[in-house]
Amino acid sequence: MKQIEKIFFINFITTAVMLGIYNVFTGIHIKNLGYGESVVGQVLSVSSISIALGSMINAYLSSKIGFKKTIGLGLGLMCIGILGVGFLTNPFYIKIFSGLMGMGYGFPFSSVGVLLIENSKEEERVKAFSTNFVIQSLGTVGGSYLAGKLIKIFGNIFMVSKAIPFVYGLCVFIILLGFLPLKSLKEINKKRDNKNRDFFKGFKDVFSGQSLKFVIYNTVIGFGAGLVIPFFSVYLKFSLNIDNEKVGILMGLSQVGLVIGGLSVPYISKVLGRENTVVICQLLSIPFLISIAFPQGIVVLGISFLLRSTLMNLNQPLIQNISLETVEYENRALMSSVVSMTSNVTRAISMIVAGYLMENISYNFPYYITVLLYLIGTFIFYRSFKVTRPLEEGGANE
């Protein structure tokens, strides 16, 4: 297995568990325990904040002990966290283990982008990030679909409330597979003195210039996303009365278009430019987000999920690439962590807000706020990174 393939595999494993299974079914699990949307929002917000915390810790530790050891630590924390969330019933302890789950995921999550840049040439990076995004999407699709099927099977054998914890138990074995490629992963040692470098001085570089503009954009989009995306499965299950298997299929379907989109990103960005592709895709996704808030049947809902997710996330490889190119090499791990931190902290806050709004006003109200924030975020990105030439003729940050 090549070095870059090992990175892909680790990301596939962690994404399948975190995004495909944990984020989709934890809300339903909490509701099955008898708690309301506010508790769902609190549990998911803790994991989101913890992803940010784990990313920041990883930025510091990786400069001292390397990415291999920090990723290994992250995988271990994920195993402990998902078991605690699955088999404990007290909301306080569930939040603690949700924090461990999020923190653990933050280590590999913030490492992948830096490792991809280290293991690819400049002209290969858009393709490398796109391939990684496709694999990540497949992990999410596979995780959601498989978990939905297993929950239905276990629900027929045991009590329905026990089905999700059993699936979470199986997730531990999936996470442990990540240690296989990690053992032989080689890190590229560039000429840098990590031990003597002032880690905290890097914050000054990250929070200035183009990198600061990107952080602001990412914060606005993150807050908007946190209002609706973590509650998609709860919305489908408890507002539209769709069963667990169909929830898994619909959530997986929302990722299918990402595979096609991820494969086409290098070609689209050559025509439109990386920055213009981001702006256009985000604007086109908004009508489908509105359609989800006002469903016209499960078929239309499925199509809206597919197209919204495709358009809004099609640009993720480009966004990740652009963000890391706004800083010098020695600050890339820190930049990756800051992007993760701002996105996840704002998502965590907006999850709590969304839980309150959905429980006390309506499931639809947070969608209106998200549409407004997506428009504002897209405008910020356009003003900060707009180009009039496609990437092949020389875009921004080249």
Residue 201: band (very low, low, confident or very high) from pLDDT cuts 50, 70, 90: low
Residue 191: band (very low, low, confident or very high) from pLDDT cuts 50, 70, 90: very low
- In this predicted structure, which of 45-59, 81-95, 206-220, 324-338 has the lowest mean pLDDT? 324-338
Do residues 234 and 363 lie in contact, with contact meaning Cβ atoms separated by under 8 Å? no
- In this predicted structure, which of 40-54, 104-118, 125-139 has the lowest mean pLDDT? 125-139
- Please report, for the chain, the start and end positions of each structural domain, with discontinuous segments joined by +: 3-177+199-386
Highest mean pLDDT among 1-15, 67-81, 137-151, 196-210: 67-81
Phi, psi of 89 (to 5 degrees): -115, -20
Highest mean pLDDT among 98-112, 319-333, 382-396: 98-112
Do residues 60 and 199 lie in contact, with contact meaning Cβ atoms separated by under 8 Å? yes
pTM for the structure as a whole: 0.70
Residue 72: band (very low, low, confident or very high) from pLDDT cuts 50, 70, 90: very high
pLDDT for residue 334 is more than 90: no
Residues, the chain: 398
Residue 392: band (very low, low, confident or very high) from pLDDT cuts 50, 70, 90: very low
Distance CA 182, CA 304 (A): 38
Q: Using the Cα atoms of residue 262, residue 339, residue 359 and residue 243 in order, give the sign of their dihedral.
A: positive
pLDDT of residue 114: 81
Task: Please tell me the CATH code under which domain 3-177+199-386 is placed.
Answer: 1.20.1250.20
Residues 131-151 have a mean pLDDT of 82
Residues 314-337 have a mean pLDDT of 78
pLDDT for residue 118 is more than 90: no
Q: Please give the residue that has the higher pLDDT: either 294 or 279.
A: 279
Instruction: For 34-100, give the DSSP string.
Output: T--HHHHHHHHHHHHHHHHHHHHHHHHHHHHH-HHHHHHHHHHHHHHHHHHHHH---HHHHHHHHHH
Do residues 139 and 19 lie in contact, with contact meaning Cβ atoms separated by under 8 Å? yes
pLDDT of residue 289: 85
Closest to 135 (Cα-Cα) out of 237, 5, 37: 5
Residues 103-127 have a mean pLDDT of 82
Q: Mapped to the 3 state alphabet, what secondary structure does 7-31 carry?
A: HHHHHHHHHHHHHHHHHHHHHHHHH
DSSP H or E segment with residue 120: none
Q: Of all residues in the chain, what percent carry a pLDDT higher than 70? A: 87
